[in-house]
Structure 1
Amino acid sequence: MPSDPPGTGTDSSTEDTLDLRLVEVLAPLTTGAGGDGPGPADGSAEPPPDPDRYDLLGGVGSWGPVSTSPGTFRLVPVRAGRDLPVVTRWMNDPAVAAFWDLAGPDERVAAHVRAQLDGDGRSVPCLGVLNGVPMSYWEVYRADLDPLARHYPARPHDTGVHLLIGAVGDRGRGIGTSLLRAVADLVLDHRPSCGRVVAEPDLRNTPSVAAFLGAGFRFAAELDLPDKRAALMIRDRPHRHLL
């Protein structure tokens, strides 16, 4: 789970059922580069994310799409009325809950996400959309402004990422590694003041640590955070051309 909100997984039922649910709930994401299609299926009105709302990170919703080895990928800022059901479903997968600790009713996930949506823009919750299908949940955040900064030698504009893979079929295939590399590149491309991208996966989550290493992050230290023993992973801008 993240060190402190705002700032490493799908439902244990069949993958086919989940994929159908994703299409039904999140079909609007496939209509336009920013995912700002029609509102929730119940017809309630919810305004699309305001790009200026995320000025502490430079407008995450405008960073994509990008080409990756698994396909076309983009980050779409979460819209609570549309996206919370599927995020809650993913958080209640035991494989995810073991590290995020957000299993439970909708209200628990809603509180975690809304703390970011209603905050000052230092953390942006997003869906990762691959080839038009939402399949992962991300948090892109200003690590230098996060409680994490009390636990490592933070630098101005350090940018952090949290990730969970939603669909079981997308795990263990190297997709997470490819997407982490792509998102780190997006951060460095769109945030010239950011010298490095950081992450703090739970040390017990060896697949997550391996994915970060495969994406060009280096293991920098072990951190004792309030809720976990974490691996501090860093991807440095100066080393980017070597990756």
Structure 2
Amino acid sequence: MISFRPVDVDSDAEMEMLHRWVTHPKAAFWLMQDFDVEQVREEYRRISEHPHHEAFLGLVDGNPAFLAERYDPGHVELVGLYEPEDGDVGMHFLCAPTDTPVHGFTRTVITAVLAWIFADPDALRVVVEPDVRNTAVHALNAAVGFRVVGPIAKPEKQALLSVCTWHDFQSATSALPRLGASL
């Protein structure tokens, strides 16, 4: 069972765990490689206090397994870089690095995150802006229904803006088993 809960910025153990995740070499595109635990805490405190940005710990059978963020792209991340539409929700996700990867886990996670976002009837389209060099996530995004809008220049990176509607998501994932997600 996959569930979500807000990141607890006051938990030292949780911040140490997230620090390991976001500074791991596989998380290079999160641009936090040189952060210490306190810098990670401050980043997630900034997110938790922001009215248009939220961070959640993704749990699999009650165990921390991934990080998910949702944001309003008209107020965070993409301000002035594209024309937002009503119902747009921005999304980031990061699977916890492991020594023994599970085949299909990342696709399971992105599918669960999208289902969780689209469970909100006000969420009409998910918007992402991964680094243009992150070809693995571009392929994953396409597999779950994202359509490329085009490259955009963000202050910290060249990004590939992509969008996914509920219909695109359902069409791309209709053959996959339905996943339970709760908040």
Q: Give the TM-score range, shorter chain.
A: 0.7 to 0.9
Equivalents in 2 of 1:227, 1:86: separation in Å?
A: 24
Equivalents in 2 of 1:171, 1:143: separation in Å?
A: 31
Aligned to 1:109: 40
Aligned to 1:220: 149
The one-letter code sitting in structure 2 at the alignment partner of 1:115 is R
Root-mean-square deviation (CA, aligned residues, Å) is 1.8
Deviation, 1:143, is: 1.5
**Runs of at least 4 residues off by over 4 Å:** 169-172
Identity of aligned residues (%): 26
Aligned to 1:139: 69
More strand by percentage: 2
Structure 2 unmatched runs, 5+: 173-183
User: What per-residue deviation string (whole Å, max 9, x for no partner) do you get for residues 55-109 of structure 1?
Assistant: xxxxxxxxxxxxxxxxx1111110112221110111221221x211213211111
* 1:201 pairs with one of 107, 126, 130: 130
Q: Is structure 2 residue 20 aligned with structure 1 residue 89? A: yes
Contact 1:144/1:157 (8 A) holds in 2: no
- TM-score where L is the length of structure 2: 0.84
Contact 1:223/1:231 (8 A) holds in 2: yes
Deviation, 1:187, is: 1.4
Structure 1 unmatched runs, 5+: 1-71
Contact 1:77/1:125 (8 A) holds in 2: yes
- TM-score where L is the length of structure 1: 0.64
The one-letter code sitting in structure 1 at the alignment partner of 2:115 is D
* Residue pairs, 1:1-243, within 5 angstroms: 72-82=1-11, 83-96=14-27, 98-103=28-33, 104-120=35-51, 122-169=52-99, 171=101, 173-190=103-120, 192-243=121-172
- Indicate how the Cα distance of structure 1 residues 228 and 172 shifts in structure 2: closer, same or farther if over 3 A, else same: farther
The one-letter code sitting in structure 2 at the alignment partner of 1:216 is G
More helix by percentage: 1
Equivalents in 2 of 1:142, 1:170: separation in Å?
A: 34
Equivalenced residues, count: 169
